[in-house]
Structure 1
Amino acid sequence: MNFSQLQSFVALADTGSFTEAAYAINLTQSAVSHALAALESELGVTLLERNRKGVVSLTAVGQKIIPHVRTLLAQAESIEQEARAAHGKTSGKLRLGSINSIISPRLLASLLTNFQQKYPDMEVVLFEGAMQEVGEWIEDSIVDVGFVVLPAPNVESSPVTTDELCVLVPPGHRLRTRSAATFKELREEGFIMEKSQCALHLLQRVGFGTSKNRPHIRYQASDSATILAMVREGLGITLLPRQMLPQKLEGAIALPLDPPQPLQIGLGIRSARVASPGATLFIQTAQIWAQERDELF
């Protein structure tokens, strides 16, 4: 087997498409198809199967093998980056995981800009998902480094910044004049939340989650902009990290919680012992970036 075959296998598993896989690793569809066929022939197993619509999915044995392949490719990238670093060069690929409903676009864009200015030859590939997904991506070597909410089990993490959970209510809401909202008051409300486990995590932090304290989720939407528009219309309230709010919040009121609910944000890696130079540099850059803004907790 060779790296081209392994890269083709992973690209197909990630994209579910020969066309997208070929584009992702800069090969032709024919080359990707031949690489997969050669790998399956050498191993004597079927790693991927296609349905009638041409969508690719992992077989049972493919699911068992792919974590090992991801680890091998990640280690190969680390070896190449270490070799370049020995010659004073910083280049290569960094796979970064970000949490959609926790990490604000402004924070992410500012940090990426800072990193790219310092290390222009590092290519950053962004993966966005829910909090649990990013944690699994770190563990499975799908990403080299990812944002996490601390404490983060099963990964090695470094603190970067802190945020605060707040509740958004429409202007005519009964809580609009309050300085803070309590869990008891929120129990009486209907929520508009994202369709993700991140939303459940935020609700649990406030106190929901047990059989006696189940939240009344009135609506679920796929993005924060839609949720904010629904809150403005008085269809319900929502919970969001303060940094996720637009710079000019119009048509809604953001209230802190009583007691306060801080969100400690960090960056996680699988292991510092095998982390790529790019991942280490990204964490260092993020911590310096936060210190410059007095955000390090």
Structure 2
Amino acid sequence: MTLTQLEIFSQVAALRGFTLAAARLGISQSAVSHAIKSLEQELGVELVQRHQARVELTDIGQRLLLRARSLLGLAETMRQEAADAKGMKQGTLRIGSFGPTASMRLLPALLADYRQRYPGIEIHVEEGPDQQVVQWLRERRIDIGFVVLPDESFDSWPLLEDRMVAVVPRRHPLAARDALSLRELCDDPFILTGAGSAELVMRLFTAAGLTPQIRYRCSQLLSTLDTVARGDGVTLLAELALPAHDQTAYVSRPLAPQVARRIGLAVLDQRQSSPATLAFVRQALMLRDAGRLLKP
């Protein structure tokens, strides 16, 4: 068993295909097939089931994938600790990000500062809904991710706090109010967006004993806001996720009582995090404390 085999296995699992994994790794498809077959023969189990268009992991393949990614993460940590002794001139950092708040308001300043200090670190950014980032952390697909806090399953560092706001069509009767309650948002068709804190939104309604009339589920923030602007429903979003311009067709109002949302960075286990990962945390906290974290 080699680290190369484990890396190929991890890529096949992530991309659900031999061809895509080969393209990502820059090797031939036959080399990918050979590596998987050799690994299966050595372990004595079938790791993947091959279908026409894609592959699926077997049950044991799913379990061993976590072990493989753990080993790959430890190997990368060893490489980076060695590189750190020489000035951290090389390495890889995989970041998970969700929604406009993390991807557009936080990441630009963080990446600019980090790349200037560590130009040799190769950075990969994966974007998905908030719960997808959490899953990626648990599966070790990323080294560090932006998450909604608190989350006791990770080692985390708070970065900022904003508030949840109701977003309604500008000509809606609720637009004349200074603040809105969760109950008032249950009287209209509700638009649930997967672009940000959908999990937090549903927890708020559940905790209040309310059930919104979910008529739309939008994967993108812009489509969510466009649906509101057309007058087709109302929604609940984090204030920092809203664009600073083009709010002519909808308005945002704070909740009463106000609900805060805390965003932070999280890792699965700080003790096993690579030097590149911990350096990213340090840079983020320095920018936070200096008031330079948010992009206007």
CA RMSD of aligned residues (A): 2.0
Amino acid at match of 1:167: A
Give SS of 2:282's match.
helix
- Rate the CA distance shift 1:74–1:244 in 2: closer, same or farther, 3 A: same
- Cα distance in 1, alignment partners of residues 90 and 162 from structure 2: 32
Deviation at 1:282, TM superposition (A): 0.9
Deviations 1:228-263 (A, max 9, x none): 111111101111111111120322111111111111
In the alignment, which residue of structure 2 is the partner of 1:39? 39
In the alignment, which residue of structure 2 is the partner of 1:280? 278
In the alignment, which residue of structure 2 is the partner of 1:236? 233
- Cα distance in 1, alignment partners of residues 261 and 117 from structure 2: 28
- Rate the CA distance shift 1:90–1:278 in 2: closer, same or farther, 3 A: same
Amino acid at match of 1:99: F
CA contact (8 A) 2:8 2:36 kept: yes
- Cα distance in 1, alignment partners of residues 273 and 114 from structure 2: 17
In the alignment, which residue of structure 2 is the partner of 1:83? 82
Q: How many residues align?
A: 293
Alignment partner of 1:256 out of 249, 254, 257: 254
In the alignment, which residue of structure 2 is the partner of 1:13? 13
CA contact (8 A) 2:284 2:293 kept: no
Deviation at 1:195, TM superposition (A): 4.8
Amino acid at match of 2:159: V
- Rate the CA distance shift 1:180–1:252 in 2: closer, same or farther, 3 A: same
TM-score normalized by the length of structure 1: 0.92
TM-score normalized by the length of structure 2: 0.92
- Cα distance in 2, alignment partners of residues 229 and 118 from structure 1: 40
- Cα distance in 2, alignment partners of residues 210 and 244 from structure 1: 23
CA contact (8 A) 2:95 2:145 kept: yes
In the alignment, which residue of structure 1 is the partner of 2:221? 224
**4+ aligned runs moved over 6 Å, structure 1:** none
Unaligned runs of 5+ in 1: none
Amino acid at match of 2:127: E
Amino acid at match of 2:149: L
Deviation at 1:94, TM superposition (A): 0.7
CA contact (8 A) 2:99 2:196 kept: no
State how 1:1-297 maps to structure 2 within 5 Å.
1-53=1-53, 55-100=54-99, 103-195=102-194, 198-205=197-204, 208-209=205-206, 212-250=209-247, 251-293=249-291
- Cα distance in 2, alignment partners of residues 44 and 294 from structure 1: 53
- Rate the CA distance shift 1:195–1:285 in 2: closer, same or farther, 3 A: closer
- Cα distance in 2, alignment partners of residues 235 and 254 from structure 1: 15
- Cα distance in 2, alignment partners of residues 92 and 21 from structure 1: 21
Deviation at 1:279, TM superposition (A): 0.9
Amino acid at match of 1:153: E
Deviations 1:107-160 (A, max 9, x none): 223322222222111111112222222223222322111111111121111111
